[in-house]
Structure 1
């Protein structure tokens, strides 16, 4: 069995010069703890539309065989395109993706988008509108499993608080990172510590759904 990932930068592996920025998909398969191969096709900036237009979706489908899991998480960039609104273009594209995975004998699993870290007056803001809601609705409509990463990450940030949750994200002061010499405060993209924590949660959720993933992944996640 393989696990194939479709998504945006919050899922994708980042280029080396951006280290330690990372999407959670890059940490889903610590090589010494996982028995299923993970193929990460996620790309920074991708929408449900561009992922297909650039050929990434077809590459993923060509590798999909019966029994493979296909995890799909989009939304961050779709919400920047008017024609990819949650209940129109976005939902239609996800329905088509699900149908195509099933036609290949794969098992599609939708993921709600991980939340951005935007606090105001100590309260975590909602930044993704109806996109997570639509994914939950599609899960019920199409009879498939949904990993609610939006709900889980929101709870995580609130538990850690505005200060503590900062460590999950890509924050550097001037002079601390060669590529961003002037400093960076990024509340969308994860530091590898945050990405690893989300990947572990994804693994645990898949195992709880009966997909047979090894809980020993936890041994490969750094504190």
Structure 2
């Protein structure tokens, strides 16, 4: 059976019990996807540090023919000059895609999830050229893309400033043991937000894999629901 392997930063990484209810979307992917998920993402990761600490090699060691490797970076790469969007960042992503293909597996690129930074009724983009660099790399290499920058921007704006706060780590003092002083964090998801993003990623991955196509069409002909 196909397994899914995740490479990424804290917005993807497994939730840490002391930090509950903060969680990365990868924590809940398996329950929505219906396949085994091996989550190698960790907080603060860049495309370079993921290589340096051996996480990429450990991920590759577990990849079998037919598996899928989902890659989302950018949040922390943008802080490092050598990981410029059109330089080191793209170079490392391209090398990761090649590594996956050498194992007869499939790479899927994700643009970084957007930060929930509102400017009026709109979300202020924070990733500069990184999302476009990932989009163009996906096109040029024929790699499937899950555009999480676009999806999360739409999601926050659709819900609005106030309602979308529940998706991120906004906790009142004393509300959770891990955050006795409370927290206002518009980058990292709450369990609610992580599950919402995981649901979208799971649907996207199932579509990329062409799953569910064996299900019969259920609409009656000639009738618009």
Q: Which runs of 5+ in 1 are unaligned?
A: 215-223
Pair 1:125-2:124 in alignment: yes
Residues 48-197 of structure 1 mapped to structure 2, 5 A cutoff: 48-197=47-196
- Give the TM-score, by structure 2 length: 0.91
- Specify the alignment match of 1:200 in structure 2: 199
SS across alignment from 2:82: helix
1:213 Cα deviation after fit: 7.0
1:151 Cα deviation after fit: 0.4
Q: Distance in 2 between matches of 1:213 and 1:75?
A: 31
SS across alignment from 1:29: helix
1:17 Cα deviation after fit: 0.7
Say which one has the larger Rg: 2
1:15 Cα deviation after fit: 1.2
Deviations 1:15-55 (A, max 9, x none): 1011111100000012xx65421100000100000001000
Q: Distance in 1 between matches of 2:150 and 2:176?
A: 31
Task: Give 4+ residue runs of structure 1 displaced > 3 Å after superposition.
Answer: none
- Give the TM-score, by structure 1 length: 0.92
Q: Distance in 2 between matches of 1:184 and 1:213?
A: 40
Q: Which moved more, 1:204-213 or 1:152-161?
A: 204-213
Q: Which runs of 5+ in 2 are unaligned?
A: 214-225
RMSD between aligned alpha carbons? 1.4
- Specify the alignment match of 1:220 in structure 2: none
